[in-house]
Structure formats: structure tokens, C-alpha cells
Amino acid sequence: MVIIISSTIIILLLIIIITIITTNTTITLISSCNNIIIIILLILAMTRLMMAVMVTMNMIIICLMLLLNMRQGVIRKKRWCNRMEMLHSCNLP
């Protein structure tokens, strides 16, 4: 969650920087080449951040799915033990 919040804050800051650069380019067209290079670099940074956000979201989803599967496995084990009435043979936590 902390990673997602920090990445969203960074993305918002990058959007603000891009808007400032675009307004500066519209007001003064002195060093347009440098501004274009900066905008391209910012777009690359944005795409990398979006990839990082997607990866973190996927990792969180996978972790949640694994936790749910673990819980279901424990419940199934308990049910099996109750059904078979062999609690001593089952290693329950």
C-alpha cells in the first residue's frame, strides 16, 4: 500500500512538472529541443512508474489469492479431521 501511495504521489508530481514545462514552452520557445528531451524523459519515467504500479498491484493480488488458498486449505484439513475423527494424526496449528 505504501509503495502504491508513494508511486501515485510521484506520478502526480510528474504530471505537475509536465504541465509547467508545457506552459513554459507555450510562453517562451527559446530552448524547445531541451524541453522536448525533458518531456520525452518524463514520459519514459511515467511509463516505468506505471509498470511498477502494475507489478506491485499484481504482487498484492497474488499474495491475497495465496492467503485465501491457505485459509481454504486449513478449513478443508479441519473438516477432513472432523470427518475422519483422527485429530491426533493431523498437525493442526
CA distance 22 to 3: 28
According to the model, what pLDDT value does residue 59 have? 81
Residue 90 has pLDDT above 60, yes or no: no
Q: DSSP characters for 26-64?
A: HH--SSHHHHHHHHHHHHHHHHHHHHHHHHHHHHHHHHH
pLDDT tens digits, 19-42: 776 666 555 555 556 667 777 777
pLDDT tens digits, 52-69: 777 888 888 887 888 777
Residue 12 has pLDDT above 60, yes or no: yes
According to the model, what pLDDT value does residue 3 have? 64
**Would you give the DSSP letter of residue 90?**
S
According to the model, what pLDDT value does residue 22 have? 64
Give the pTM: 0.36
According to the model, what pLDDT value does residue 35 have? 67
According to the model, what pLDDT value does residue 16 have? 74
